[in-house]
Amino acid sequence: MMNCLGRYLRLTTFGESHGTAVGGVMDGCPAGLRIDTGQVAAALKRRRSGDVKQESVTKRQEPDEVEWLSGLMEGVTTGQPIGFVLRNRDVRSEDYEALRDVCRPGHADFTYLHRYGMRDWRGGGRASGRETAARVVAGAVARQLCEKMWQGFKVSTCADEEHCVVCTVEGVPAGVGSPLFDKVNARLAHAMMSIPSAIGFEMGAGFAGATWDAATWRDEWNEDGTTRSNHCGGVQGGISNGMPIVFRTAFHAPVTTLEHMVCLNTREGRLQPVCTGGRHDSDHIGRLPSVVEAMACWTLADLGMEKFNGGGMGPMGRMGPMGPISPI
């Protein structure tokens, strides 16, 4: 996996906060999909809107203009990989000189150093929230693919006071996902916990539901195949049941808002107070709903490609040549 998410629809991202650009390659998007680039721009703008709200905190400017490099002809996908780039501007790595030899608390400085034997000390590098801009681009494309696959597809989020983002996905039909490691819930958990500062994930009733007895937890049938409650969050045995898919992701507070830090100087092996004047991506909470939606769209589009395209025959009889499928 490393920098790659998805199996049928594969997103590879690249780029650091203080390098030249962030970007990505979307591989596996079917040909013939007209991409509304306006929707992509809107998603990026929405991601940035959290920043705007708390302008005093976030000083960094990131004009997010997508440059589409390949895979589109006259606005329509050709089936070839879609490369795109978002340039970083206003990169002043000198702001970070003071951090060259020290590891900040609550950051990835120390762990990158141990992982790679070195680290990109210019800002958050790959660990920065900047990287999520590429995910939002991909998610905006995936959303359009989902809307083509499934009438009524709709993703919405609600961020509460406590750094939790509740996400509801409507319009995914029954039968998406696979039993073991491609469970919808497992794949969503993977995608959500890959977002910087994510610390918790739950489906439907989640942790609260874990305390209930079976009779309370169990979602009872209606005659039409819907259920009276939706404690399971729209997924049974890892596969969607046609009810809204509901999950919640928790994030911790942005640690970079604190101006005074006691850092670990790894060169001298001692603690060292540091006063940061850098322009950190501090308002990540405001951005998170758009990133959560992007990851949800990408994950469901990937799983949907398998189902829609007939990983199994399904009641829709997609794998027709194998014989008639009895309708349920």
Looking at residues 190 to 209 of the shown chain, list those that interact with a copy of itself (rule: CB under 8 A). Answer: 190-194, 196, 198-207, 209
Task: Determine which residue in the list 117, 152, 273, 275 makes contact with a copy of itself, applying CB under 8 A.
Answer: 117
Type of residue numbered 215 = A
CB atoms near residue 310 (< 10 Å) = 15
| Binding footprint of a copy of itself, residue count (CB under 8 A) | 159
CB atoms near residue 207 (< 10 Å) = 9
Task: Give the footprint of a copy of itself on residues 271-310 (CB under 8 A).
Answer: 271, 307-310
Phi/psi for 106 (5° steps) reads 70, 15
CA distances from 67 to 29, 78, 139 (A): 18, 17, 16
- What's the CA gap between 42 and 301, in Å, rounded? 20
The least distance separating a copy of itself from the CB of residue 130, rounded to whole angstroms, comes to 11
Task: Give the footprint of a copy of itself on residues 205-244 (CB under 8 A).
Answer: 205-207, 209-215, 217-221, 223, 225, 227, 231-233, 235-242
- What's the CA gap between 162 and 282, in Å, rounded? 16
Residue closer to a copy of itself, measured from CB, 30 or 244: 30
The least distance separating a copy of itself from the CB of residue 295, rounded to whole angstroms, comes to 10
Task: Give the footprint of a copy of itself on residues 245-264 (CB under 8 A).
Answer: 250-255, 257-258, 262-264
List CB contacts of 112: < 8 A, sequence separation 6 or more: 119, 120, 125, 126, 127
Q: Does 171 bind a copy of itself (CB under 8 A)?
A: no
Residue closer to a copy of itself, measured from CB, 21 or 98: 21
